[in-house]
Amino acid sequence: MTRYIFITGGVVSSLGKGLASAALGALLQARGFSVRLRKLDPYLNVDPGTMSPIQHGEVFVTDDGAETDLDLGHYERFTGVPAARSDNITTGRIYQEIIARERRGDYLGGTVQVIPHVTDAIKEFVLSDAGGVDFVLCEIGGTVGDIEGLPFFEAIRQLGNELPRGQTCFIHLTLLPFIPSAGEMKTKPTQHSVKELRSIGIQPDILMCRADRAIPKDERRKIALFCNVRETGVIQALDVDTIYDVPHAYHLEGLDAEVLSVFGIEDSPEPRLAQWHNITSAIREPEGDVTIAIVGKYTGLKDAYKSLTEALVHGGIANRVRVNFEWLESEIFETGDTAYYLEEVNGILVPGGFGERGAHGKIAAANFARTRNVPYFGICFGMQMAVIEAARNMAGIENAGSTEFGPTDEPVVGLMTEWMKENELVQRKANGDLGGTMRLGAYDAALKAGSKVAEIYGSTAISERHRHRYEVNMGYREKLEAAGLLFSGTSPDGLLPEVVELPSHPWYIGVQYHPELKSKPFDPHPLFSSFIAAAVEQSRLV
Ligand code: GLN
């Protein structure tokens, strides 16, 4: 029997609903239950793939090639359960499907309406493809009271009645602000938020109250009374020093016990949290530290690189060092002195990116790393820029460029027009749709035996997630290899480059895929562990 937990938010956004859901998932797993986590996003984009990372944060790509909300990244990192296309839905996708059905004539004779058609489609999504797990956790994006969220709240309200009794639990996440001039923690915004929720027919079972200090007993009682929730259902959710302590912190507040009690499960053994204790102790008691420069274009919003920074933290856990981030807008290298900014760092990472703005700064950063023997990790766009740098300065192809920036005489990086996906040919045209048309999701790659990257993975066959439209042009392979840049990984048919490395350098690797998407705190990605190990080595030299 699958039980459903719905997580909504109120008062303000950015309270960490995604993390709270992920942590609860991890706690239920630690008690031996299987879980699946889902996100319902009320915005009108069909998926976040076409949104700027500055708008919406990182786009998280699943194995099955969906471009999804970054919360799915939290879910995977905390539970290890691979997210799928069926775990994230938006209003845009729901409407796209309904309108397609209407055009097909599926509703012939009927008026198509928000209730029941949109709400039915939402419910169908929530219930579909759950795979028989013990718990499905469903997070609703936005906050209660948002106009665009209404159909989602209505759909989960209906599910509360339609699913068998005792099979649903509603959790509402709110904020208790502390007003310094009054010296008091205020419960009113929480009361209003719950009132709003109850006015649309949802009575929360549990309130998770984010606060920057302990909630006094009286306030807890007051919240319980005014919000019609049991006192044990008012869970304080305080800030913690590392996100990986959240499962343990919520357990101490009784969250998992309260959730199980909502379902009438009273005999579950205590959760096994040893792996989380190991992770937090590695983070809190590091044996050293390294500084990594992240040279990107969306450095103003840290959420734009969420999986990346977490994967670097995981690399730190594997080496028991703290990883400090030096966020650098790549454009500064286009006018300033690269060395001035990069002299002190122990590693340089150029992450994924799109478009010409800032690209030349990334090429300059790759050049600095290569010529100064600083560990360099190029991911997707960061690999493409490293190859352009090598083409220009090692292979003497002066005008090397990418067709992503316009026509060029030397398209060292060019648009991919066809590739194989599971024995089928995929084709793209230069002027096609931009949404959902990149080379997306998990693809196998073959690594060259004896190469550095094969040694790091301990294997020559890997599968990694992709998200790109352009690709290093294999027509230049021979020239680049002659100049010293090794193509150490390709697609299994040998047609698409996947990894390049510089055998003459301590650690210089570019990958066309996004390894950060698969890294977990309890299973750090080998490339990130190895990159941080190289940074530790480098820190001993300076
Ligand atoms: N803009 C590049 C491409 O489409 C790189 C994409 C990325 O870094 N994810 O190929």
- Residues 6 or more apart in contact with residue 432 via CB below 8 angstroms: none
| DSSP string computed for 502-516 | -TTSSSEEEESS-GG
| Cis peptide bond upstream of 116, omega within 30 | yes
Known catalytic residue at 514: yes
| Residue 226 Cβ < 6 Å to ligand 1 | no
Residue with CA closest to ligand 1 atom 5: 381
Residue with CA closest to ligand 1 atom 1: 354
* Tokens describing residue 539: 């820190």
- Residue 194, classed as helix, strand or coil, is helix
* Tokens describing residue 155: 């759909």
Q: Which CATH number fits the domain that encloses residue 510?
A: 3.40.50.880
- Closest ligand 1 atom number to CA of residue 379: 8
| Residue 380 Cβ < 6 Å to ligand 1 | yes
Distance of CA 509 from the midpoint of ligand 1 (Å): 16
Q: Chain-centre distance of CA 158, in angstroms? A: 30
Q: Which CATH number fits the domain that encloses residue 171?
A: 3.40.50.300
Q: Is the dihedral of CA 140, 141, 145, 146 positive or negative?
A: negative
* Ligand 1 mutation target, pool 52, 349, 470, most atoms within 8 A of CB: 470
* Tokens describing residue 279: 């992770």
Specify whether 269 is located in the same domain as 293: no
Say what the pLDDT of residue 424 is.
83
Half-sphere exposure of 316 (CA within 13 A, CB side): 27
- Residues 6 or more apart in contact with residue 529 via CB below 8 angstroms: 314, 315, 318, 319
> Which residue among 253, 278, 303 closes a domain?
278
Say what the pLDDT of residue 452 is.
97
Say what the pLDDT of residue 497 is.
96
- Closest ligand 1 atom number to CA of residue 352: 8
Say what the pLDDT of residue 469 is.
92
Specify whether 267 is located in the same domain as 159: yes
Short-list 304, 362, 305, 368, CA closest to 331:
362
- Residues 6 or more apart in contact with residue 337 via CB below 8 angstroms: none
Range(s) of the domain holding residue 514: 287-541
- Residue 231, classed as helix, strand or coil, is helix
Short-list 273, 269, 268, CA closest to 248:
273
Known catalytic residue at 516: yes
Which of 314, 466, 514, 525 is catalytic? The answer is 514
Express each pLDDT in 502-524 by its tens digit.
999 999 999 999 999 999 999 99
Say what the pLDDT of residue 425 is.
83
Asked if 42 and 205 count as a contact pair (C-beta separation under 8 A), the reply is no
The strands making up 376-379's β-sheet, listed across from edge to edge, are 322-329, 289-296, 347-350, 376-379, 508-511, 497-501, 486-490, 439-447, 461-468
Asked if 77 and 308 count as a contact pair (C-beta separation under 8 A), the reply is no
Specify whether 259 is located in the same domain as 299: no
DSSP designation for 523: B
Distance between CA 224 and CA 205 in Å, rounded?
10
Specify whether 103 is located in the same domain as 245: yes
Exposed / middle / buried, residue 413 (Cβ in 10 Å: 0-12, 13-18, 19+): buried
Tell me the H-state helices in 149-245. 150-162, 188-199, 217-227
Specify whether 274 is located in the same domain as 292: no
- Residues 6 or more apart in contact with residue 45 via CB below 8 angstroms: 51, 90, 92
Express each pLDDT in 148-157 by its tens digit.
999 999 999 9
Exposed / middle / buried, residue 328 (Cβ in 10 Å: 0-12, 13-18, 19+): buried
- The amino acid present at 532, given as its one-letter code, is I
Distance of CA 358 from the midpoint of ligand 1 (Å): 13
Residue matched to tokens 């709400």: 119
Angle between helix 119-127 and 91-104 (nearest 10): 110
- Residue 440, classed as helix, strand or coil, is strand
Specify whether 473 is located in the same domain as 347: yes
Short-list 229, 161, 165, 160, CA closest to 195:
229
Q: What is the pTM of this model?
A: 0.93
> Which residue among 246, 278, 310 closes a domain?
278
- Closest ligand 1 atom number to CA of residue 469: 4
Distance between CA 330 and CA 63 in Å, rounded?
30
Task: Calculate ∠ Cα 146-148-151, nearest 5°.
Answer: 105
> Which residue among 261, 278, 295 closes a domain?
278
- Residues 6 or more apart in contact with residue 489 via CB below 8 angstroms: 445, 446, 447, 448, 451, 453, 462, 497, 498, 499, 511
Specify whether 206 is located in the same domain as 299: no
Say what the pLDDT of residue 15 is.
86
Distance of CA 481 from the midpoint of ligand 1 (Å): 23
Residue with CA closest to ligand 1 atom 8: 352
Q: Is the dihedral of CA 97, 101, 107, 109 positive or negative?
A: positive
Specify whether 265 is located in the same domain as 357: no
Helix (H) and strand (E) counts in the chain: 19, 25
| Residue 49 Cβ < 6 Å to ligand 1 | no
- What are the C-alpha distances in Å from 15 to residues 22, 41, 237? 13, 16, 10
Distance of CA 74 from the midpoint of ligand 1 (Å): 23
Number of domains in the chain: 2
Q: What is the chain's Cα-based Rg?
A: 25
- The amino acid present at 198, given as its one-letter code, is R
Express each pLDDT in 197-230 by its tens digit.
999 999 999 999 999 999 999 999 999 999 999 9
Which of 380, 389, 498, 525 is catalytic? The answer is 380
Known catalytic residue at 380: yes
- What are the C-alpha distances in Å from 232 to residues 72, 144, 184, 208, 340? 29, 23, 22, 11, 55
Asked if 452 and 409 count as a contact pair (C-beta separation under 8 A), the reply is no
Say what the pLDDT of residue 56 is.
81
- Residues 6 or more apart in contact with residue 333 via CB below 8 angstroms: 295, 341, 360, 361, 362, 364, 365
Express each pLDDT in 85-131 by its tens digit.
999 999 999 999 999 999 999 998 899 999 999 999 999 999 998 88
Q: Which long-range contacts (CB under 8 A, 24 or more apart) does 213-222 make?
A: 213/178, 213/185, 213/238, 214/238, 215/176, 215/185, 216/185, 219/176, 219/185, 219/187, 222/187
* Tokens describing residue 163: 């699913």
DSSP designation for 319: H
| pLDDT tens-digit profile, the chain (542 residues) | 899 999 999 988 888 999 999 999 999 999 999 999 999 999 999 988 888 887 788 999 999 999 999 999 999 999 999 999 999 999 999 999 999 999 999 998 899 999 999 999 999 999 998 889 999 999 999 999 999 999 999 999 999 999 999 999 999 999 999 999 989 999 999 999 999 999 999 999 999 999 999 999 999 999 999 999 999 999 999 999 999 999 999 999 999 999 999 999 988 899 999 999 999 999 999 999 999 999 998 777 788 899 999 999 999 999 999 999 999 988 888 877 888 888 899 999 999 999 988 899 999 999 999 999 999 999 999 999 999 999 999 999 999 999 999 999 999 999 888 888 887 888 888 778 888 888 999 999 999 999 999 999 999 999 999 999 999 999 999 999 999 999 999 999 999 999 999 999 999 999 999 999 999 999 999 999 999 999 999 998 86
Specify whether 332 is located in the same domain as 471: yes
Greatest distance between any 2 Cα atoms in the chain: 76
Specify whether 151 is located in the same domain as 104: yes
Distance between CA 513 and CA 499 in Å, rounded?
8
| Residue 378 Cβ < 6 Å to ligand 1 | no
Specify whether 95 is located in the same domain as 118: yes
Specify whether 293 is located in the same domain as 246: no
